[in-house]
Structure 1
Amino acid sequence: MVAFVGRRRELDVLQSLLGEVAAELGAQKPGRCLLIRGRRRIGKSSLVEAFVDQAAVPAAFFTAAGESTERELESFTEAVLSSSLPERRIFSEARPGNWSAAFRQLAGVLPDDQPTVVVIDEAPYLMDRVDAFEGILQRAWDRELSRKPVLLILIGSNLSMMEALGSYGRPFHQRGQEMVLGPLNPAEVADMLSLAPADAFDAALVTGGLPLICAAWRPGMGLWDFLAAELSNPVSALLVSAERSLAAEFPDGAQARAVLSAIGSGERTFTNIARASGGISHTSLTRATELLSDKRVIVGELPIATTPSKERRYRVADPYLRFWLRFVAPSLPEIERLRGDLALARIRTGWTSWRGRVIEPVLRDSLARLLPDDDLPVAPVVGGYWTRSNSVEIDIVGADRAPVARELLFLGSIKWLEQSPFDNHDVAALQKHRAALTDEPVPLLAVSRSGVTARGLQAAYGPDALLQAWRPRVM
C-alpha cells in the first residue's frame, strides 16, 4: 500500500503489542494501551486501519468529531454496533447514558478468550468536550478494560494534549506506551518516489513527507513535472492539505493565522513578524507565538554559542506548510482560475533562495544522525549561529549543549546549489565567521549539493551520505 511505505517499523510495534496481549490471555491484566500522536494528515488513522486489517482480530474503531458529549456518545455506540466485536448487540439493547457506562459496557462485550483491538481516534476532542474524560478513562482502564485481552489505541493530532494525556500528574499517567508518528523521512521519500538523493531532499521539502501528498508523485517524476500537475488540479492534496489542517487547528485563530503567515513568508524575528502581521501588539504576538509553538507549528530557536544570546528566530516547523504559505496560499485565486502556470513561474523564480534556507534544519538533522564518523565526533546538539545584523551567520554549529555551550565541536557551512561546488571562497568566509565566534581551532565542515573543491576542511558531506543517515543502522 502506497501510504505505508516506510511504516514497517510502526506496524511491527503495533503487532508486537497485540502479541503481548495474546501471550497474557488468562492473566489478571492482559490489556495494553498505546497513545499515538502526530500532525494532521500524517497517516495515523490509516496506519491503524491497516494494522487492524492485518491483525484479523475483533475490533472497534471510533473517531471523535468534536461534537457535543451526547452526540459523541451516540457515535461511539454506533461504532461499536458496526464493529466486529462478538457481543456488540448488547449496545443496541442497552445504550449507555454517559462515558463511564459506555466504557463499562464496552468491557462487558470484550471477549476473555481472544485478543481484540479498540481504537479511539481524535481523543483530544473527548478530552476537551467531556467533563473529566481523563479521569473517566483512567478508572475504566484500571478497573475493567485492562483486565480484558484488549489493545486500546488512542490517537490524536493535538500534540500538546496527547503529550499531556500520558504525562506525570495526569490521571492516565503510565497507563499507556507512546508512539510519535512523523512524516516520511527523506530516505523513505527517496524509496517511495524512486528519486536520487538530491532530488529526494527536494521532494521532502515540497511534500513534507506527508504520505497523502507523496502518493500523487509518480515514481521517477521530476519536481517541476510534479508541481505542474498538482498546481493544475484545484483539489490536489498539495493544495488543500495545509488549509484543512489549519482550519482544524485554528478554527477561531485569525491572529495566530496572521502570525503564521508572516513567519511562512520569511519573517524570522519578533519585530519583523509583528510588522508583517499588521502591527500586532507585543502581548498579542507573544500569545500567538506561544499558541503556535504549543501546537508544534512553529519553532523558536536561539543561536548556539559559548555566550548567551536573546536573538531568537522563528520558522515554520513543517517544510510542506512552509512551502504552502510561501508559494501556494498567495496563488490560490489564480490556481482556482486554472492559472497554476503563474504560480509555477513564481516558484521557479524563488525556488533557489527559498530552498537554501528551508533545507538547513533538514541537513542539520541529517548530520546529527550521521555522526560520529572518521572525521567528526558525535554532537549532542547541532544548530546554527547568527547575530542580530547577520554580519556573522554560521549554518552548522555542533556543540555539547544548547543554547549556551561549554564546548563547540565543529562549525560548518551549507551550499545547496545544483552547479556550484563548495570552493575556497566559501572556506574563507567560514573561517572568518569562526574567528568572530571563537578563538579556538574548531574543525570546519562543508555540506554541498554539488561537491567540494576547497581545502582546509575537516569533513565534507553531500546528498548521498546525508540521505543514508536516515536509514536504519545495522547493529
Structure 2
Amino acid sequence: MRRFIGRDLELDVLGNALRSVHEAVGSPKPGQCILMRGRRRVGKSSLVEEFLRRTEVPHVFFTAAGGTAEDELAELADTVAGSTLPERTLFSQEAPTQWNAAFRLLAEILPDDRPSVVVIDEVPYLMDRIDAFEGMLQRAWDRLLCRKPVLLLLVGSDLSMMEALNDYDRPFHQRGREMVVGPLTPADIGEMLELEPAAALDATLVTGGLPLICAEWRPGAGLWDFLRDSLDNPISALLVSAERSLAAEFPPQAMSREVLRAIGSGERTFTNIARAAGGISHTTLTRAADLLTEKRVVAAELPLSLTPSKERRYRVADPYLRFWLAFLDPHMAEIERMRGDITLSRIKEQWTSWRGRAIEPLIRESLARILPDGLLPAAPAIGGYWTRSNDVEIDLVGADRGPVAKKLLFLGSVKWLENSAFDAHDLAALQKHRAAITDEPVPLVAVSRNGTTGSVLGLQAVYGPEDLVGAWRRG
C-alpha cells in the first residue's frame, strides 16, 4: 500500500514481537510490551492498523481522548465491545468503574491459548489525567497481563512523556521495549512520489515526511504543482496538520506558541526571539524555550568547536513545522480567502534563501548515516560553527564529540542553489574560516546541489543529492 512505503522495518519489529509471544504460549510470562513513540501525524496509528490487518489476531485498539477517568473508561468499554476479542461481551456486562478493575477484567478476557494484541494509543493523556495511572498499569502488567500471550502496544505522541514512562524511577521501568516511529525518509519520499533526489529533498523540507501530507502529493508532480494544489484547498493536510498538532500539545494562550512563531519566523538568538515574541521577559522566554526543547519541537544548539561557547541558537526541529511557520501560518487569512496564489508567489521569492538554511540539519543527519565512507571518518558529532557576529560561520563541523571537541575531523560548506555549483571562491572562503578556528589541516568537504566547478582540489570529499538520499536507503 502506498502509504506504508518505508515502514517495512517497523512492521518487521512488530511482527517479530508477536511471533515471540506466539512461541511463548504456555510459558509463565509470554506477554510482551512495546512503548511506541513518534511525533503527531507521523503515522503511528496507521502503522499499528496495518500491522493488525496483516496479522488478523484478536485485538482491541483503544485511543485515549484526554477526558476524565470516567469518560475514558466508558470509551474503553465501548472499544472492547467493538473489538475482535472472543470474550468481549463480559467486559460490557461488568462495566468496571475503576482502572484497576478495567485492567483486571481486560486480562481475564484475553485468550490463553493464542496471541492477542492490546493497543492503548495516546497514553500520555492517561498519564496526565488519571491519578497513579502508571502504577496501576505496572501492577496490571506484572500480576496479570504479562501472564497472558498478549502483545501490549503503548503508543504516544508526547515524546518526553513516553520516554519518561520507561525512566528508572518510574513504575513501568523496563517493562517494555522502546520503539521510535519517525517520518518517511527522503529515500521513502523519493520512491513514493517518484521524485529525483534533489526534488525528494525539497519535498522532505516541505512535508517533513508526514504520510498524510505526502499522500496528497501526486506522484511525479513538482514542488510548485503540489504547493499550488495544497494552497487551493483550505483543508489540505499541508495547511491543517501543524495547527492540529500544536493545539494538542500547547493551549492557544500558552506563551510557547508565540515563542515558537518567533523561532519559526527565522529568529535564532535568545534576544531576537524575545523581541519578536513581543518583548517578553527573560524568565518567561526561558520557561517557554525549555518546554519547546523538552517536547522536541525546538532544537537548541551550540557551536561545535575546540573551545566552549555560550552562543546558543534555536531552530524548529521538524522540517514541515518550520516550513508552515515561515510561509503558511502568518498568511492563513490570505489563504482562506482563496488567495493562495499570493502566498505561492511569496514562497517562490523566498524559497532559495530559506531552503539554504533549512537543508543544513538534514544534510548533517545524512552525513552521519554515510560516514565512514573511505573519504571521511565516522564523526560522533556533526554540527555547525558560528560566532556572535557571524564573521565566521561554518555549515558543517565533524568532531569526536560535542559541543566542545577534542579533535576536529572535518569542516564543510553547503552550497544549495538551483543553478550554481561549488567553486573556487567557496573553497577559499571555507579555507579562510578554517584558519580562524584551527591551525591544523582539517579535511574540507563540500555539499552541493549542483556539484563543483573550477579548481577545488583542496576538497577531501564532495556530496550531492544522490549521496544524501542514498544515505537513507536500507540494505
TM-score range, shorter chain: over 0.9
The alpha carbon displacement at 1:352 in A equals 0.2
Equivalent residue for 2:140?
A: 140
Residues 84-99 of structure 1 mapped to structure 2, 5 A cutoff: 84-99=84-99
TM-score, normalised to structure 2, is 0.99
AA in 2 matched with 1:320: Y
What is the rounded CA distance, in whole Å, between the counterparts of 1:246 and 1:290 in structure 2?
16
After superposition, the C-alpha distances for 1:335-389 in whole angstroms (9 at most, x for unaligned) are 1111100000000000000000000010011111101112111111110000000
Aligned partners of 1:3 and 1:43 also within 8 Å: no
Residues 25-174 of structure 1 mapped to structure 2, 5 A cutoff: 25-174=25-174
Structure 2: 5+ residue stretches without partners: none
What is the rounded CA distance, in whole Å, between the counterparts of 2:319 and 2:429 in structure 1?
28
What is the rounded CA distance, in whole Å, between the counterparts of 2:229 and 2:110 in structure 1?
48
What is the rounded CA distance, in whole Å, between the counterparts of 1:74 and 1:155 in structure 2?
20
Residues 454-473 of structure 1 mapped to structure 2, 5 A cutoff: 454-473=456-475
What is the rounded CA distance, in whole Å, between the counterparts of 1:308 and 1:201 in structure 2?
33
What is the rounded CA distance, in whole Å, between the counterparts of 1:467 and 1:233 in structure 2?
30
What is the rounded CA distance, in whole Å, between the counterparts of 1:264 and 1:161 in structure 2?
24
SS in structure 1 of the partner of residue 88 of structure 2: coil
Deviates more, 1:246-255 or 1:379-388: 246-255
Deviates more, 1:87-96 or 1:282-291: 87-96
Residues 5-404 of structure 1 mapped to structure 2, 5 A cutoff: 5-404=5-404
What is the rounded CA distance, in whole Å, between the counterparts of 2:440 and 2:298 in structure 1?
33
The alpha carbon displacement at 1:54 in A equals 0.8
The alpha carbon displacement at 1:252 in A equals 4.6
After superposition, the C-alpha distances for 1:306-326 in whole angstroms (9 at most, x for unaligned) are 100000000000010000000
What is the rounded CA distance, in whole Å, between the counterparts of 1:163 and 1:61 in structure 2?
21
What is the rounded CA distance, in whole Å, between the counterparts of 1:47 and 1:374 in structure 2?
37
What is the rounded CA distance, in whole Å, between the counterparts of 2:240 and 2:310 in structure 1?
37
After superposition, the C-alpha distances for 1:275-326 in whole angstroms (9 at most, x for unaligned) are 0000000000000000101110000000001100000000000010000000
Aligned residue pairs: how many? 473
The alpha carbon displacement at 1:214 in A equals 0.3
What is the rounded CA distance, in whole Å, between the counterparts of 2:378 and 2:146 in structure 1?
42
SS in structure 2 of the partner of residue 89 of structure 1: helix
The alpha carbon displacement at 1:471 in A equals 1.0
Equivalent residue for 1:419?
A: 419
The alpha carbon displacement at 1:455 in A equals 2.4
What is the rounded CA distance, in whole Å, between the counterparts of 1:334 and 1:17 in structure 2?
49
What is the rounded CA distance, in whole Å, between the counterparts of 1:93 and 1:258 in structure 2?
49
SS in structure 2 of the partner of residue 328 of structure 1: helix
Runs of 4+ aligned residues of structure 1 deviating over 4 Å after TM superposition are: none
TM-score, normalised to structure 1, is 0.99
What is the rounded CA distance, in whole Å, between the counterparts of 2:253 and 2:474 in structure 1?
40
After superposition, the C-alpha distances for 1:200-222 in whole angstroms (9 at most, x for unaligned) are 00000000000000000111100
The alpha carbon displacement at 1:253 in A equals 4.5
AA in 2 matched with 1:35: L
What is the rounded CA distance, in whole Å, between the counterparts of 1:188 and 1:92 in structure 2?
43
| Identical counterparts, % of pairs | 69
What is the rounded CA distance, in whole Å, between the counterparts of 2:53 and 2:121 in structure 1?
16
SS in structure 2 of the partner of residue 60 of structure 1: strand
After superposition, the C-alpha distances for 1:3-27 in whole angstroms (9 at most, x for unaligned) are 2110011011111100000000100
Equivalent residue for 2:436?
A: 436
